[in-house]
Amino acid sequence: MFHVKHTKIIVVGGGHAGVEAAGAAARMGADVSLVTLNKAAIGAMSCNPAIGGLGKGHLVREVDALDGIMGRAADAAGIHYRLLNRSKGPAVQGPRAQMDRALYRAAVQAAVAAHGIEVIEDQVVDLCVQDGRVVGVVTTQHGDLSADAVVLTTGTFLGGVIHIGREMRSGGRMGEDASSALAKRLRSLGLPMGRLKTGTPPRLRKDSIDWDSLESQPGDSEPVMLSFLSKAPAARQIHCGITHTNSKTHEIIRANLAESAMYSGNITGSGPRYCPSIEDKISRFADKDSHQVFLEPEGLNDNTVYPNGISTSLSAEVQLDYVRSIAGLERAEIVQPGYAIEYDYVDPRALDATLQLKALPGLWLAGQINGTTGYEEAAAQGLVAAMFAVCSARDEPMEIFSRSNSYIGVLIDDLIHRGVTEPYRMFTSRAEFRLSLRADNADQRLTPIGVDLGVVTAERHSAFEAKLRSLDEGRRVLGRDTYSSKEARSVGIELALDGSKRTGLELLGLPKVEIGQVCELVEGASDLPADVLAQLHREAIYAKYLERQQRDVDRLRSEETTEIPRDLDFAAIHGLSAELKEKLRKAQPTSIASARKVEGVTPAALNAILLALRSREIRLRA
């Protein structure tokens, strides 16, 4: 795509959202300046050393499909790959990889340099506003910097306060200053803002752990890559360890809850419900005798281990006590205490579908400033915000991401319409079109959009076109001939004896049919690349379900106008979680359309409400 107008974009913050924003704008031909407090921290993983997971893996693939940085950087640094939900269908499987922190940071910084992005080490303390529009930023050392658009990605730095027990200190993350002046400036604008919190566990010395006494967790023997351009891991693969908390651990934590920042009243912000601190786990799940802890080495040459599952804001002394009560950690040493961090966010309902502030044109927000949690959610927002910022500055058309074409669309739609009461995390259950929004087909869904917007490079475009040609050839080979039940039985595939015939593609979609059986039957199929066969197998499996899904979605849309009686007892509806029942009780939605906007309401929950309404109607008629 050829652009005549010179475009200047300033990105504030060098975290995952900021890096993707800067990269996207640069790929679109904009002149990009990335302003960050610490150049060396670009690409740093503030919390867990992993990329991907359930729902999150879909976002990584979608960012990668738009030629983002995260997927390729992750595959350059991945040391332990696991496909989550492997026993379930492809639609809800989540690719995940544990990183070598140093390798990941190096890969991200190399990508930033390769994009030709100007990195300015400075602090943004104010916005330049002219005629009601943001036209730049004010920094402490470089003064005023002008731009056509500004993308703000402050992470946990905006008014950040670190909590360790009763100790409180200003900070964006351990060892780095908070962005207090900018937080004050945003609040002065009268924006709808609030406080959220997140936390991290203590880091342990690897050589102080009794690894021989722990359960070993290997990675997958056939790793699933995070980038469509990657073929195999670049780094040496390792094993992780698994242990569990116990009754003694829980006793220590209960006895010291008053020392926790969350329970002492020092923190007012809400934390992530689906990634609770160990204090929350002990309090909320008092009936559980133990909780699983994954011991994840932070690098091949790093003597630090991330104990996933024991995030905390207890004092350093109590942390050491409860850590040493856990099997295999009796002599463990803490190299950095865990902590909670509270920070400012802007209510995302103040944004439009491009992530631009409605009340302040020229300013786009992305990442935790919008109330989300997670590297992947941040990266997706950063990329989208920058793409739309560039398009807006050039007066070019934009294609808004929708719930039907991407998890990115689901993420943005949820944020700007429902807002957040706790840090937002992506799950596959949030997507009503999840059968078609699979991680494996993210490039087929989004790369053409990226090409049209000019965010996809020639290298990615060429690789994508080659993949499409291979898939088309595979469909031609597998769909060329039909096979009788007798021919199918010759390779172990059982068909109904009704005289009907099926193509190779149709056979692939049958339950318990393996790719090898179809390759044995269909001439030329065994010559197709393994990844092409695997992709066509997934497509065949879902072919018949996609039609049914579309019917369900159409029905749901038609029923959105259905009224909900005020006396409907949400607590009596089967299929709703206790938390959702309480949210619905408080919100008292008057229709299915308004119920959809209640935070946490999934398509399955809407169907449960509709079923309850139909049952109620039948009873009233009887």
Q: What is the pLDDT of residues 483-495, one digit of tens each?
A: 999 999 999 998 8
How far apart are the C-alpha atoms of 420 and 365, rounded to whole Å? 15
- For the stretch 248-282, pLDDT in tens is 999 999 999 988 876 666 666 666 666 788 988 98
547 within a domain of the structure (yes/no): no
φ, ψ (nearest 5 deg) of residue 330: -60, -30
* Contact yes or no for 564/592 (Cβ under 8 A): yes
Residue 460 domain-assigned?
A: no
Mind listing the pLDDT tens digit for each residue in 299-315? 999 999 999 999 999 99
pLDDT tens for 317-368 read 999 999 999 999 999 999 999 999 999 999 999 999 999 999 999 999 999 9
Q: Please give the pLDDT value at position 268.
A: 67
pLDDT at 450: 96
| CA neighbor of 355 nearest in space, from 304, 310, 409 | 409
Asked if residue 309 and residue 211 are part of one domain, the reply reads yes
Within a domain: 364: yes
DSSP letter at 201 equals P
Is there a domain that residue 590 lies in?
yes
Phi first, then psi: what are they for 88, rounded to 5°?
-100, -175
Alpha helix positions (H), 189-315 = 247-255, 261-264, 278-284
91 and 239 assigned to the same domain? no
What does the pLDDT read at residue 547? Answer: 78
What are 483's two structure tokens? Answer: 């096979």
Rounded to 5 degrees, φ, ψ at 527 are -85, -10
Does the residue 239 lie in any domain?
yes
Tell me: do 173 and 25 sit in the same domain: yes
For residues 203 and 173, the answer to whether their CB atoms sit within 8 Å is no
- 1 inside domain: no
Query: How do residues 62-104 score in pLDDT, each as one tens digit?
Result: 999 999 999 999 999 999 999 999 989 889 999 999 999 999 9
Q: What pLDDT was estimated at residue 1?
A: 44
Contact indicator for 71, 443 with CB cutoff of 8 Å: no
Tokens of 280: 């929350």
Rounded to two decimals, the pTM is 0.88
- Residue 463 maps to a domain: no
Question: Beta 149-152 vs 363-365: how paired, if at all?
Answer: parallel
> Of the residues 289, 323, 341, which one is the last residue of a structural domain?
341
Q: Cite the annotated binding site by residue number.
A: 13-18, 124, 179, 271-285, 368
Is residue 290 a part of any domain in this protein?
yes
Of 159, 130, 181, 132, nearest in space to 346 by CA = 159
Residues 30 and 173 in one domain: yes
* H or E element that contains 381: helix 375-394
Between the CA of residue 552 and those of 333, 410, 596, 604, 611, what are the distances in Å?
Answer: 54, 18, 15, 11, 13
Whole-number Å distance between alpha carbons of 101 and 46: 10
Are 232 and 360 in a shared domain?
no
Cβ proximity of 313 and 260 under 8 Å: yes
CA dist., res. 556 & res. 16, Å (int): 36
At 390 the pLDDT is: 98
DSSP bridge pairs for 31: 8
Cβ(176)–Cβ(46) under 8 Å? no
* Beta carbons of 179 and 126 less than 8 angstroms apart: no
The answer to whether residue 417 scores a pLDDT higher than 90 is no
Instruction: Compute the C-alpha angle 318/324/325, nearest 5°.
Output: 95
Q: What pLDDT sits at residue 271?
A: 63
- In the chain, the amino acid numbered 34 is L
Total structural domains within the chain: 4
Residue-wise pLDDT for 395-410, tens only, equals 998 888 988 899 999 9
Q: Terminal CA-to-CA distance of the chain, rounded, Å?
A: 64
CB burial readout 223-248, b (16+ within 10 A) else e: bbbbbbebeebbbebbebbebbbeee
Query: Tokens 């030329």 label which residue?
Result: 524
Determine whether 481 is exposed, middle or buried from the number of CB atoms within 10 Å of its CB (0-12, 13-18, 19+): middle
* Last residue in a domain, options 312, 341, 370: 341
Q: Identify the domain containing residue 222 by its residue range.
A: 203-341
User: What is the Cα–Cα distance from 461 to 604, expressed in whole angstroms?
Assistant: 37
∠226-228-229 over CA atoms, to 5°? 110
- Rounded Cα distance between 459 and 12, Å, is 28
The Cα 154–Cα 9 span in angstroms is 16
Residues 138 and 255 in one domain: no
pLDDT at 537: 95
Residues 294 and 208 in one domain: yes
Residues 6+ apart with CB under 8 A from 440: 61, 90, 535, 538
Tell me, what CATH number does 332's domain have? 2.40.30.260
Are 386 and 260 in the same domain? Answer: no
**Residues making up the binding site for NAD(+):** 271-285
- Mean pLDDT for 54-60 is 97
376/301 same-domain check: no
- C-alpha torsion 258→261→265→268, nearest 10: -150
Residue 179 has pLDDT above 50, yes or no: yes
Of all residues in the chain, what percent carry a pLDDT higher than 90? 76
For the chain, the average pLDDT equals: 92
The DSSP bridge partners found for residue 244 are 292
Block residue for tokens 């087909």 = 441
Structure confidence at residue 552 as a pLDDT band (50, 70, 90): low
Q: Rounded distance, CA 50 to CA 99, Å?
A: 5
Question: What SS3 class is residue 610?
Answer: helix
Positions at the binding site for FAD = 13-18, 124, 179, 368
DSSP 224: P
Name every residue whose Cβ is closer than 8 Å to that of residue 547 and which is 6 or more positions away in sequence: none
> Which letter does DSSP use for residue 272 in this model?
P
Same domain, yes or no: 484 and 580: no
Q: Do 53 and 141 fall into the same domain?
A: yes
Structure tokens at 303: 């003597």
- Check if the beta carbon of residue 92 is closer than 8 Å to that of residue 428: yes
Higher pLDDT, 576 or 272: 576
How confident is the model over 16-32, as a mean pLDDT?
98
**Residue 600, pLDDT score:** 82
pLDDT bin (cut points 50, 70, 90) of residue 2 is very low
Q: List beta partners, residue 198.
A: 341
Interval 235-246: pLDDT, tens: 999 999 999 999
Q: What is the structure's pLDDT at 546?
A: 79
Q: What is the CATH number of the domain that holds 29?
A: 3.50.50.60
Of all residues in the chain, what percent carry a pLDDT higher than 70? 96
Angle between helices 375-394 and 407-418 (to 10 degrees): 80
For residues 613 and 361, give the distance between their C-alpha atoms in angstroms, rounded to a whole number.
Answer: 43
Q: Same domain, yes or no, for 20 and 155?
A: yes
Q: What is the CATH number of the domain that holds 572?
A: 1.10.150.570
**Least confidently predicted of 123-127, 567-571, 584-588:** 584-588
Residue ending a domain, among 420, 453, 486, is 453
> Bigger pLDDT: 608 or 497?
608
